[in-house]
Amino acid sequence: MSDAQDAIAVLTRIAQEPRAYAENWKRNHQRKVIGTFPMNFPVELVHAAGALPVVVQDDRAPITLGRTLMYEFYCGYARSLTDQAATRKLGVFDAFFLVDHCVALLGAVDAIRFELPEQAVFLAQYTASMDEAWTPPQVREKVQSLQSQLEELCGESISKEALARSIRLFNRNRQLLRQVYDLRRSGRTQITSAQMQMLVKSSMVMDIEEHTAMVSGLLASLQAQSDSNPALVRLHLSGHFCHGPRPELLDIIESCGAVVVDDDLFTGFRHISTDVAETGDPLDALTRWYFDRNNNVPCATRAQKNVDWESYLLQSLKNSGAAGVVILMAKFCEPHMLYYPELRKALLGSQVPHLLIETEHEGLPAESIRVRMEAFLEQIRRPANAAAA
């Protein structure tokens, strides 16, 4: 195996076994591990308090005990969180923090409170309406409350210097991962969409300095590669706000003759898109980051008049040269379901081919998806073949 393949294999294993990594880190450092939930929690605060921030991932196991705590018409991620709580898989976390809300996630958090009463849960609900005059000061107040709660929980004061250092460390990590994205868009490296997802997911669960060191070495290996194949159809993956699509689904998409060159997945570019300002008051910078993220990669869970997801998506296609979009929608994800008609209208209006694939926590209709993907790629290729004739 090459150095790049070795590094990706290690990061993939950690991304697939986040609890094992967190348990080892906790044992070695004798510090707290804090579970956070998607999408906008400022993990720099946890790091500055001396704890390990871990974005709680969905679990591959079938949902069993969790079925008694949450309805089947909630999304797979929320039901998986509930099941992990019920089956006592979340014991490594000393507390849970979140700033985002939807009915499903709040239901899962309530189930965690019910099943794990000894583990504290903190909700600092950010205002979702981004345009209101009162939103920035309200979010700033929430950031301040998160700092106070973490200081009390960890027994350690968070200084401005410590928080500024944490901001720099996480910015550096995001910048390196964005360089990998740049290489992939340009066709100057060989990396699959499943591998790219694992690079991002591992950054959500690992000690940030350890992860940055590994990605830095990986980047040097990737820059020496070239994998431009004009026969492959260039695609953009869109959707999946809270958890990653199954790697085998991503493999099916690319095995049909496509190459994924960009995405706006949460376990992808959405997560690493935006740095925190490194000047000025760190709490002000973390407040501003919340708004900057939605300006850079708009989200259907936020309300903002001067940005929209469909415009961002169309511009992303121009930047990457993607010929089509595969929209991955987690079943029962209400924000995505409600926004999809706007995306569809914009894509049809711009004559951009797109394919909607609804995903579930359990079960993958592999052959059905493969047939649909092959037909979709043929639809994209047909105009080019006609023009060549």
Query: What is the dotted CATH code of the domain comprising 228-388?
Result: 3.40.50.11900
Mean pLDDT of the chain: 94
Domain 3-161 in CATH 3.40.1410.10? The answer is no
Q: What is the pLDDT of residue 228?
A: 63
Q: For residue 37, give Cα distances in angstroms to 180, 287, 379, 381.
A: 25, 17, 38, 40
pLDDT surpasses 90 at 2: no
Q: Helix count (H) and strand count (E) of the chain?
A: 15, 8
Mean pLDDT of 368-374: 97
Percent residues over pLDDT 90 in the chain: 90
From the number of C-beta atoms within 10 Å of its C-beta (0-12, 13-18, 19+), residue 224 rates as exposed
**pTM for the predicted model, two decimal places:** 0.94
Q: For residue 18, give Cα distances in angstroms to 15, 89, 121, 303.
A: 6, 11, 20, 32
Single-letter amino acid code for the residue at 83? D
* 248/187: higher pLDDT: 248
pLDDT band with cut points at 50, 70 and 90 for residue 363:
confident
Single-letter amino acid code for the residue at 84? Q
pLDDT surpasses 60 at 389: no
Q: What is the pLDDT of residue 3?
A: 79
Max CA pair span of the chain: 71
pLDDT band with cut points at 50, 70 and 90 for residue 387:
very low
Q: For residue 119, give Cα distances in angstroms to 160, 187, 225.
A: 28, 46, 46
Q: What is the pLDDT of residue 222?
A: 85
Mean pLDDT of 276-289: 98
Give dist(CA 351, CA 345) in Å, integer: 10
pLDDT band with cut points at 50, 70 and 90 for residue 227:
low
pLDDT surpasses 70 at 220: yes
pLDDT surpasses 50 at 388: no
Quick check: helix, strand or coil at residue 328? strand
Single-letter amino acid code for the residue at 121? V
> What is the distance, to the nearest Å, from the Cα of residue 135 to the centroid of all Cα atoms in its chain?
24
pLDDT band with cut points at 50, 70 and 90 for residue 286:
very high
Query: At CA 216, angle to CA 316 and CA 270, rounded to 5?
Result: 30
Q: What is the pLDDT of residue 226?
A: 63
pLDDT surpasses 50 at 95: yes
Contact 267, 260 (CB under 8 A): no
Q: Where are the beta strands (DSSP E) in the chain?
A: 33-36, 52-55, 95-98, 120-123, 233-239, 258-263, 324-330, 354-359
pLDDT band with cut points at 50, 70 and 90 for residue 308:
very high
> What is the distance, to the nearest Å, from the Cα of residue 295 to the centroid of all Cα atoms in its chain?
17
From the number of C-beta atoms within 10 Å of its C-beta (0-12, 13-18, 19+), residue 322 rates as buried
Phi-psi region of 374 (alpha: psi -120 to 50; beta: other; left: phi over 0): alpha
Mean pLDDT of 285-313: 96
Give dist(CA 199, CA 368) in Å, integer: 28
Domain boundaries, the chain: 3-161, 228-388
**Fold match, 3-161 / 228-388:** yes
150-157 LR contacts (CB < 8 Å, sep 24+): 150/34, 150/45, 150/46, 150/49, 150/51, 150/97, 151/49, 153/32, 153/34, 153/49, 153/94, 153/95, 153/120, 154/31, 154/32, 154/49, 154/50, 154/51, 156/49, 156/50
